[in-house]
């Protein structure tokens, strides 16, 4: 079983970078479709609940998917998102 997403993310990183890395990892290990659906689902949940829905989160999710396309390791993916 894979580790929970929160266990794969570096601690104390900005929200945009967390979105980027999470979406990139989902795209890398699952699919671009699933990464996109997860990002939109998270923002919809924030919109309808106590969270803070932000367009920039979806932009960060797309950046993570782009980083997944050009990275051959998780470390490269994280470096891409942390730039």
Between the alpha carbon of residue 47 and those of residues 16, 41, 51, 70, the distances in Å are 17, 10, 7, 31
Is 2 within the bounds of a domain? no
Is the pLDDT assigned to residue 6 strictly greater than 80?
A: no
Asked whether residue 4 is domain-assigned, the answer is no
CA distance 83 to 81: 6
Domain-embedded: residue 58: yes
Q: Domain for residue 49, yes or no? A: yes
- Does the residue 7 lie in any domain? no
Is the pLDDT at 65 greater than 60? The verdict is yes
User: Looking at residue 51, what is its pLDDT?
Assistant: 87
Query: Is 72 in contact with 50 (CB distance < 8 Å)?
Result: no
* Token digits of residue 66: 């782009």
Q: Is the dihedral of CA 4, 68, 77, 12 positive or negative?
A: negative
Number of domains in the chain: 1
Rounded mean pLDDT, 28-46: 96
Structural domain that includes position 77: 15-82
């Amino acid at each position: 079983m894979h580790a929970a997403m929160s266990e794969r993310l570096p601690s104390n990183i900005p929200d945009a970078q967390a979105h980027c890395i999470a979406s990139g990892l989902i795209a890398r290990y699952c699919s671009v479709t699933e990464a996109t659906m997860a990002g939109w689902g998270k923002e919809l949940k924030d919109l309808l609940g106590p969270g803070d829905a932000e367009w920039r989160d979806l932009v960060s999710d797309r950046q993570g998917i782009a980083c997944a396309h050009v990275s051959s390791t998780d470390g490269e993916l994280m470096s891409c998102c942390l730039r």
